[in-house]
A = this chain, B = another copy of it.
Amino acid sequence: MKKLMNSPDTLLTESLRGFSAAHSGLVTVRLDPMFVTRADAPRKGKVALVSGGGSGHEPMHAGFVGMGMLDAACPGQVFTSPTPDQIVAAIEAVDGGAGVLLIVKNYAGDVMNFEMAAEIAEGAVETVLTNDDVAVEASTHSQGRRGVAATVIVEKIVGAAAERGDDLAALKALGEAVNAGSGTMGVALTSCTVPAVGRPTFDLAEDEMEMGIGIHGEPGRRRVAMMTADAIAKEIVGAVVEDVKLAKGEEVLLLVNGMGGTPLLELYGLYDAALRTCGDHGVAVARSLVGNYCTSLDMAGASITLTRLDGEKAALWDAPVHTAAMRW
């Protein structure tokens, strides 16, 4: 394993220190316990949005802290959910008196740690669970589905609504609606390598890929021979359209998300394929996002997310945002 780092033990702290310095006017970074807040937190009277999860998915979540998106993010160790003390400290740092909404990806560890934090924290705390990964069928596994790239979209849209002053209940309902209207599936061309582990999480032959990969390198639907961008887009978009029950003529946001090791040249090519496939399904792509947003360390691969939009959600998507990784 080769990584740009001093050691697996110090990587996360050093990376957060670098993040803090590079975005000093925008965010405040605390290292013990670890959390990142907006520089202007707490915002009085505004519902605070707190997210977090294992590290290794950068820019998610710390890169989304700022005006119009998250008030705080709690980075756990690589691929390990943060602990309740981090989450409680973050909640306390950003609570502006209007309540706190936790945005949590549906993994046992994240769910339990955020739950413990919510039990400890004072004040009104609600949670939105994201579970947009359509690769794993919800019905057969009682853990439910994984939360992946649509988390970014939930954070953006709910963040904009929080900024305009929506209350806690409305934000929770909005977050759940955006999540329910979203579906994602990913594909890996190579495994990620966890720094502390030092070797790839799984092995893929030179002509193989994993369809339905999770963002921690968890296996997906099946291991298959390498497919073309068109075939990948066709399978993923087809699965999402079916799962989210997108009807002809409906408008969506199309996110082509890189896993960390795949260059933009390929991501835009995949976007082109996904866009054509959306056209085949009669789905209208009204908004787009292409890039590395919800990554899996150095994994080569990508995911495709479709989120159902209506006029309000589109407007909230378009609303100004000023974070390290998303700004307009």
Q: Which residues of A contact B (CB under 8 A)?
A: 1-7, 11-12, 14-19, 21-23, 55-56, 58-59, 63, 78, 187, 189-190, 206-207, 209, 226, 228-230, 232, 256, 260-273, 275, 285, 288-290, 292, 295, 297-298, 300-302, 327-328
Contact = CB atoms under 8 A, between A and B. Distances in A.
Contacts of A2: 189-190, 206-207, 209, 226, 300
Given A2-B300, A261-B298, A18 B58 contact: no
Contacts of A55: 265
Contacts of A263: 56, 58, 260-261, 292, 295, 297-298
Nearest to A260: B263
23 contacts: A2-B189, A2-B206, A3-B189, A4-B187, A4-B232, A5-B228, A6-B228, A14-B272, A15-B264, A18-B271, A18-B272, A21-B288, A22-B268, A22-B288, A22-B289, A55-B265, A56-B265, A58-B263, A58-B265, A78-B265, A263-B295, A265-B297, A327-B328
A19 to B, nearest CB: 5
Contacts of A1: 206
Given A228-B6, A263-B295, A298-B261, A21 B58 contact: no
Contacts of A206: 1-2
Contacts of A285: 21
In the complex, the count of this chain's copies comes to 2
Contacts of A226: 2
Contacts of A190: 2
A297 B23 CA distance: 27
Contacts of A298: 261-263, 300
Nearest to A290: B22
B300 A268 contact: no
Contact of A11 (B78, B256, B266): B266
Contacts of A269: 4-6, 11, 14-15, 18
A75 to B, nearest CB: 10
A119 to B, nearest CB: 30
Contacts of A302: 4
A60 B47 CA distance: 39
Contact of A21 (B228, B272, B295): B272
A231 B256 CA distance: 36
Nearest to A264: B58
Contacts of A288: 21-23
Contact of A15 (B3, B228, B265): B265
A276 to B, nearest CB: 9
Given A5-B229, A17-B272, A11 B264 contact: no
A15 B297 contact: no
**Residue of A3, A4, A267, A302 with most partner-chain B CB within 10 A:** A4
Given A22-B290, A272-B17, A273-B14, A189 B4 contact: yes
Contact of A273 (B6, B229, B266): B6
Given A4-B269, A260-B263, 19 more contacts: A4-B187, A4-B232, A4-B266, A4-B301, A4-B302, A5-B228, A6-B229, A6-B230, A6-B269, A7-B228, A14-B268, A15-B265, A16-B268, A18-B256, A21-B285, A63-B264, A263-B292, A264-B292, A327-B328
